[in-house]
Amino acid sequence: MKPPQPLSLDRYDQRILELIQQEGRISNQELAERIGLSPSPCLRRLRALEESGLILGYRALVDARQLGYRLMALVHISMDRHTPERFANFERQVAALPQVQECLMITGQEVDYQLKIRVEDMDGYQQLLLQHITPIEGVSGVHSNFVLRPVFENRGVPVAP
């Protein structure tokens, strides 16, 4: 897990990164086959990529809709006073809400954060907002956009030399 890395990826490493971003559970044998290397060096490279911190981890993608989360919204938050304590507190509180899938601090004259949230329906949205987000100290404005259709999500990072 060493963040600083000279970062010299040859074709093999690039192919590995591309493939495991698409098929995170591919076996080392098939991976090796697809990149045109034998299993031994392939596994060594994969492990090296993991150790280097370039591969942060593996996730299963779960269909939120099937779990009952039928509503996705982008919530823009503005804070009244821009002190580090306020920000830290906000981030901590928001991280404790499982419905908040993502939290980005962004630029914008009227906005400080964008949250991506998943809730069952409008009721859940209202509850989350009024009971858990608006009450956080320093939150002065909230504006939401609802997601009509996720055209695509969770795309892999492009890996080109």
The site for DNA (CB under 7 A) is made up of: 12, 27-30, 37-41, 43-45
Does 1 interact with a second copy (rule: CB under 8 A)? no
Residue 124 CB, nearest distance to DNA (Å)? Answer: 29
Whole-angstrom Cα distance, residue 110 to residue 85?
A: 19
Could you give the angle at the alpha carbon of 147 between the alpha carbons of 70 and 97, nearest 5°?
65
Count of other CB atoms within 10 angstroms of residue 133:
21
**Positions in 11-70 near a second copy (CB under 8 A):** 17, 20-25, 52-64, 66-69
Among residues 34 and 76, whose Cβ is nearest to DNA?
A: 34
**Beta strands at 71-79 and 113-119: parallel, antiparallel or unpaired:** antiparallel
Q: Is 45:12 a contact under the CB 8 Å cutoff? A: yes
Does 122 interact with a second copy (rule: CB under 8 A)? no
Binding site for a second copy (CB under 8 A): 3, 5, 7, 17, 20-25, 52-64, 66-69, 72, 74, 91, 94-95, 98-108, 111, 113-114, 118, 145-161
